[in-house]
Amino acid sequence: MSPPSRRLQTKPVITCLKTFLISYSLIFWVTGVILLAVGVWGKVSLETYFSLAAEESTNAPYVLIGTGAIIVIFGLFGCFATCRGSPWMLKLYAMFLTLVFLAELVAGVSGFIFRHEIKATLNNGYKNAVIKYNGTESKNPVDTIQRNLHCCGVYNYTDWNNTKYFQEKGIPVSCCKDSDNCSPETLKDLAKAENVVYTTGCFVLVSTTMENNLGIIAGISFGIAFFQLIGMFLACCLSRYITNNQYEMV
């Protein structure tokens, strides 16, 4: 048993560590909510683009959603473990922070790597989507992208000239600047269509949108991941102080 004087000296240190760790755990809980929100946002906002590159799509949004949900739960566990002052619970909390750190690094690296490989993937995916386009799907990714990004075709609107759909119905209505000015006859004539449809191709716009959004996901993942290092340090220090000094929390 440690001398009473030593125990009295270490009590303020443990109380200080406890205060910092509780504060950290609350912030940790908030980061879990942020990760969950970013994951859902990435999944929803990039769903159309992921569908064009399904074979090589990144799982980063799913990793963030799962990690964020678990963090929300274990953030509360961290507060409970700190209040109890249980060494084994604090060690378990530190181990969980380590796993979260690794999971977020995986998500961040995945998003970062995919961000640089996305042009070749989307180029092939979008070309195939345009060639196979039939206009019958209610939520076709090609239509969604052309409407949202105000573009037409892969590199420009004339790409539709080489498709089966153009031979039958012309350029898709989703390329129109104003659907009221797009008649079937106009859409079947490239020269006339030039004045009523978007002439800019979608490939550059889609790849830029994906790169920017995945860059945001990767940046947030890396930032929050390294934040876990603080929690690991605090949890390990508090556990060690309690164990070494045989301090019992009231």
Q: Where are the domains of the chain?
A: 4-248
Query: What whole-number distance in Å separates Cα of residue 156 and Cα of residue 35?
Result: 37
Which residue in 63, 79, 99, 64 sits closest to 28, CA to CA?
A: 79
Closest CA to 122 of 206, 236, 19: 206
Residue 228, pLDDT score: 80
pTM for this one? 0.59
d(CA 133, CA 126): 10
Of residues 85, 101, 145, 155, the one with CA closest to residue 123: 155
Best CA proximity match to 36, nearest among 62, 65, 59:
65
Residue 198: the pLDDT is 92
Closest listed residue to residue 131, CA positions, set 107, 162, 102: 162
* pLDDT attached to residue 52: 63
CB atoms closer than 10 angstroms to residue 176: 20
Q: Quick one: pLDDT at residue 53?
A: 56
Amino acid letter, residue 102:
L
pLDDT score, position 176: 92
Phi, psi of 200 (to 5 degrees): -75, 135
Q: How far is CA 138 from CA 51, 141, 174, in A?
A: 15, 9, 12
* Positions in the chain short of pLDDT 70: 1-10, 45-61, 107-108, 111-112, 114-119, 137-138, 217, 245-250
Give the per-residue pLDDT at 58: 53
pLDDT value, residue 175? 92
